[in-house]
Structures are given as structure tokens and as C-alpha cells.
Amino acid sequence: MHAASTDDGSPTSPVLAEPPVVALDDETAMHQGTSGAKAAALATAYRHGLPTVPGFVISTAAVERIAAGEPLADDVLTAWRELSEDGRRALVVRSSSTVEDLGDSSMAGRFESVVGVTGPEEFRRAVDVVVASRHEAAAGSGTLTGREPLAVLVQPLLVARSGGVLFGIDPVSGREDRLVVAAVEGGPDRLVTGEVDGDRYELDRTGRRTGVTRGDGGVRLRRPQLRALARLAERTAEVFGGPQDVEWAFDEEGRLRLLQSRPVTAEPRGRPLGPVLGPGPVAETFPEPLQPLEADLWVTPLREAIRQALLLAGTADATAVDASPVVTVLGGRVAVDLDLLEPRQDTPRLRDRLDPRPRLRRLRASWRVGRLRSALPALAQDVLASADHVLAGVPVLSTLTDRQLVAVLHRVGPALVSVHAHEVLMGMLVDPEAPRLTGVSAAMRALARSRQAGLPDAEIVATNPVVLALAAPGICRFPQLPPEVEAPESPPPGDDGDAGLLREALRLRARWLQEVTARVAWTLGERLTRAGRLPRAEDVRGLRLTDLGAGIHDGDRELRPEFVEPEEPLPARFRMGDTGRPIAVGGTGGGTGAGGGTGSGPVDHGDDPPAGAVLVVRTLDPSLAPVLPRLAGLVAETGSVLAHLAILARESGVPTVVGFAGAVDAFAEGTVVRVDGATGAVEEETS
């Protein structure tokens, strides 16, 4: 029988007609309302031939009577005598609540277990402890009431050589082609309580070891044991309809035993495919999620520009470039192919060392970059002049027809490709340590001085468009400038041929071209709203560029904006799963020093950190520029030493580390860390 419920759906006491004791090999034990989720899973596993340990369950109905003050029923004591051999065999007494071990919540560790129970009085006390833990768990939870049905699972204490936890998928990344095993000497209890770390094994689906991390209290598992665990993962997934989080043990005879099985609460993300991607190189440009029209206007030209730059410089194989997405958008978040843009640090295999082609490609690339070094400054000047010509040639938008506005959107695209491509090429020539005037620092100075003069933001943007370097591109009524800034001290701008200065000039032109298209798109959105074809002007963001153009040319065409649900921030490094979800992959460890010396302070993850804090963020959002002067350090999971914010931080004497994968999770708020802007090290300080 199952637990009853009230009209509002909250659980009530189970039906009292249920038997007080149910053996795990009894079909009745498979009912969660009688046995709780944990015991019901073991009963199901037994029915499917999985290697479980025998035992019995004190039913949810009997637990309600015990909780009300009744003594243990005779049937319970009889079951105890038989299983314990009159107290000669130690038992484990565990909770089995109907809210434990579920797909959306495991409630791991909230309920009590008592290990090594022998005599009858000790058994009674253990049952009372487990029953009382229902209310203790509720006291520490915002979701439990203390009235949830609870059963008590009783099994012999397994004398184990080794034990641990087996995950049917990677519990962190959701990667489905990988199994993760944590193993310790003896049973898994010390591991699940956090007493020891154990050894961590990464396996493929066949049980072949692909990685291992040794930890405290760990145990070395042999190949047959790893294969047996892989088979157990496969079988439990088949039985329960999805990957499982399994507690296991090898007994004294070396037999594998299933102690507990519950769904893995991590989201399955499939098997990783394709190149390593990451938001780092573009996170500063696009810190916020983009909608379809914004992606068409700005990401498409960027993709083509990077492709052209890589082929022109010869730094990537043409076949690899053609096969790559180069730049992709996932849930509005922009990422690039890091395999193309970042040099590989891994040791080449023997056949790769014997293959002369990669070395020849590098030689050709060096020769090309050498030739570009002399030609690029003049080319960049021409591109700047061409971009300025395009910008100057855009008439007052209110004087243009709808079709002319669409034509502007298409005309700006090639200009963006050219500016982005030369910006990428100029970046190859920039000395990251050389001081230079950045677009962000110039923008902060212009904004601070203009506000001191009492100018409104609209007039500031019109007279000093450099301030747009402080606002991320977006189709909106007006760009959002930071509310408070201080004019920073910056080095002299340098000569006209300085690679760093030219790169900054190209980045500014790209931002201005983006802003032109944003204003054009907003104007079209307002006109379509007045015509009754869109509910709101901002809904134009949900259109594709081709659909917008077709709708302008055909006034009867229905416009259907389709907005992208913003994705959570992307991992610093990931590969796409075959389910279309990102799967995080490990980086090279640590980060890249971006200068600024060394500094220490408490970690802060917010956008308004206190003075002396070390700001640890996922991306180098330009809106953080005003807070830099008061920081003791800056750490970003993404970005490069040439990012605006990294340069500005370095100029402000703020120790800066970029490309530190997993930094936000690795350093909790309040943790005091030391940041080394030279080596890229970020270390927790101990008192």
C-alpha cells in the first residue's frame, strides 16, 4: 500500500494495515509508500538480479506507531533475531524516506544511519535514532515538514575490503561517456560522511581507466574490479531507466555488492563532440546573452573575420578552420573554438613528432606573421579610414525609409568583418607587457570629465563616442553607461604605428559599427510597433536578420519573434555534447598572469566589491572598470592579457590573472587569496 495524502497534496500517515516488517526479497518491498525510496530501490535491484545484500524493512506504517511511542512490534524483533543471528551478527540500521534518493533531490546525509548494531537494546536505540532524524532533517531544510513517510532499512554489516561510490555519468559536467568512481579501504561510510577523500577514478563505459586522482584513505582497484563496476553502472541504468549514483563494496570474498542506488541528480549532457570551446576571447565583447538579431548582426561578421585572419596568418590548418564553427552561440552566450585560437600545450604523440607537416605550418605561419608585421600597420590605417567612411556615410536614421535602414544593416556587415579581422591580426603583434592607452581607459576619462561638466549621457555619447567602450553592444533604446567612474591615470598614447594603439582603434571602430546597427534595428523596431506588426520595439531582437528584411519588403508578412532563453554562464572550457548541452572540460590548471604585481585580500564575486577585495569573476565585463582602483586583485575564468579590463587593471596596479578555469567555484567569497599577476598563480592564504 502507498502513503495517503491530504487534499493539498501533503503526505499523511500511511495506511495502518501495512505489515510492520517486509523482507527485501518480498515484492511488497518494491513499493515506495511502504518501504521508502532507498529500500524500494534495493528491492527492485534484487528482483532484477543485481548483487544486493539481504535485509528487511520496518514499514512506514510501523514507523508511525514507533514515532507515536509504541514499542517495537514482535514481528520486528523476530526479524532482527533472524537477521542478526540473535545479536551475533552486526547490522546497519538506515533511513528510507519517501523523499530520499529521488531524481531531483537525493537528501544525502539529512537522515541518520547507525552502523555496527548488535544487541536488542542497541537495535531499539538505533531505530529510535533513525526515526527521530526525520524531524532533525526537517529542522535543517526549507522543504521538509517532518511528516514525510519514513521506513527503516535493516541489513547485515558487510565486512568490505573496499567500497565507495559509483556515478553512471560525470556528476559535475554531466558527461555521459564517462563513469566516476570514488574508492576507499573498507566500506563506503567514511567516504560518504566526508571523513576521507578516497581515490577518484575516471572510466570509459567499458571500465577502462582514463584518469585517476589519489586521495586520503584511497584504495587501488584492479582492472577486473573496474570492469565489474562499469557493468554495474550499465545494469543499474537499465533497471532504473537512467544513470545512477551507487554505493558499492567488494566483500571479503571479492564479490561486488550493491548497497544503495539512486538517480544521479546532475543533468545528463551527453557525450562530448568537436573542438574545445570557450567564451574567453569574446566574453569582454559580449558579456550578456544575445538575441537572434544581435547574433546575426555581430557574431556572423566576427566568425567570418576570425576565419579570414587565421587563414591569412597561416596559424591554423585550412581543413581545421573549414570544419570548425569558429564562433558559436549557445543560449545567447558566445564562444569561440579555443583549439584554433590557443596554442596547444600537450605533449605530442610519437607519430606527431615524426610528422613534419605541423612544423612546416608553424614555419609558414612565422614567415607570414613576419611579413604581416611590416605591412599590417599601414593596412590597419586603411581599414580605420574605411570604417570611418562607412560611419560618416550613415545618414540621420529618421530620414531613411525602412528598406534603406535594412540596407544599412547589410552594408555595415562587411565593414565589421574587415575591422574584426585586422583587429585579430594586430593582436598577434601586440606586446602584452607594453603600456598603452586603451579604449576603456580613454572612455573612463571622457565619461568622468563630461559628467563633471554636467553633460547628460546622450550628449556625452554623441560628442565622445569613445565612451561606448564601457557599454556592451545591445539593441536597446540607449546604451547603458556605468553610473560612477573616476578618470584613471594612463600612459601616453604612443605613435600612430604602435600595434597596441592600432588594435585599440580597431576595437573602438568595431564597437561603433555595432552601435550603428543597434540604433538602426531599434528604429525599425519602433516603426514596426507603431504599425502594429510587433508588440514592442524590443521584440525586434527576436527576429532573424533575413526574416526582418523579408518582413520589411513584404508588408503582409507576419513577423514572429523567437527569443532565446538565456543560458547560464558557459564553462571557461567545454565541448558540445550530443544532446546540444555544453560539457565542461579541464583547463591547463591555474591561470595566465596579466601583470599588476602581487596582492592579497578576501574574495568577492559581486559587481560592487569592497576596497581591498580580490574580485573573482567568470568574464571580464567592461562594466567592472570603475571598481578596479579599489581592488587588491582580479581573477577571471576567461579572457586574455590583451582584454581591455586586463590592460586597465594592470595599468591601475591591480594584480590580474585571466583564463583561470573554475576560479569562481574554487575560491568561495571571503576566502583570503594571494594573486600573482606575473605567474598566474592564485593561492589560498592560511593564517
Is 590's pLDDT higher than 90? no
Least confident of 223-227, 485-489, 577-581: 485-489
pLDDT at 189: 81
User: Tens of pLDDT along 469-486?
Assistant: 889 999 999 998 888 877
pLDDT at 191: 77
Average pLDDT over residues 210-233: 92
**Which of 278, 325, 333, 273 lies closest to 577 in space, CA to CA?**
273
**pLDDT level of residue 367 (50, 70, 90 thresholds):** very low
pLDDT at 75: 93
Residue 249: its H or E element: strand 244-251
Assigned fold of 161-263: D-amino Acid Aminotransferase; Chain A, domain 1 (3.30.470)
Q: What is the signed CA dihedral for 651, 655, 658, 663, rounded to 10 degrees?
A: -150
Angle of CA points 457, 458, 460, to nearest 5° = 60
Percent of residues, the chain, with pLDDT higher than 90 = 49
From the centroid of its chain, how far is CA 591? 17
Kindly provide the residue ranges of all beta strands, DSSP E only, lying in 532-658, ordered along the sequence.
574-577, 582-584, 592-593, 598-604, 614-617, 633-636, 656-658
Least confident of 168-172, 337-341, 645-649, 652-656: 645-649
CA distance 224 to 207: 9
Range(s) within the chain of domains with CATH label 3.30.470.20 = 161-263
Question: Which of the four CATH numbers 3.40.190.150, 3.30.420.110, 3.40.50.920, 3.30.1490.20 does domain 3-156 have?
Answer: 3.30.1490.20
Range(s) within the chain of domains with CATH label 3.30.1490.20 = 3-156
Residue 458: its H or E element: helix 457-463
User: Tens of pLDDT along 605-624?
Assistant: 988 899 999 999 988 776 78
pLDDT at 665: 83
**pLDDT level of residue 587 (50, 70, 90 thresholds):** low
**Which of 289, 370, 310, 337 lies closest to 541 in space, CA to CA?**
289
**Which of 643, 580, 637, 635 lies closest to 609 in space, CA to CA?**
635
Q: Which CATH class is domain 587-684?
A: alpha beta
pLDDT at 9: 39
CA distance 171 to 194: 17
Identify the top-confidence range among 111-125, 255-269, 471-485, 543-557: 543-557
Of residues 109 and 421, more confidence is placed in: 421
pLDDT at 375: 74
Residue 350: its H or E element: helix 350-354
Range(s) within the chain of domains with CATH label 3.50.30.10 = 587-684
pLDDT at 14: 43
Percent of residues, the chain, with pLDDT higher than 70 = 84
User: Tens of pLDDT along 3-43?
Assistant: 444 334 344 444 445 789 999 999 999 999 999 989 999 99
Of residues 590 and 549, more confidence is placed in: 549
**pLDDT level of residue 58 (50, 70, 90 thresholds):** very high
Instruction: Tell me the sheet residues that pair with 249.
Output: 163, 257
pLDDT at 373: 67
Q: What is the mean pLDDT of the chain?
A: 84
The pTM score is 0.68
Q: How many residues does the chain have?
A: 687
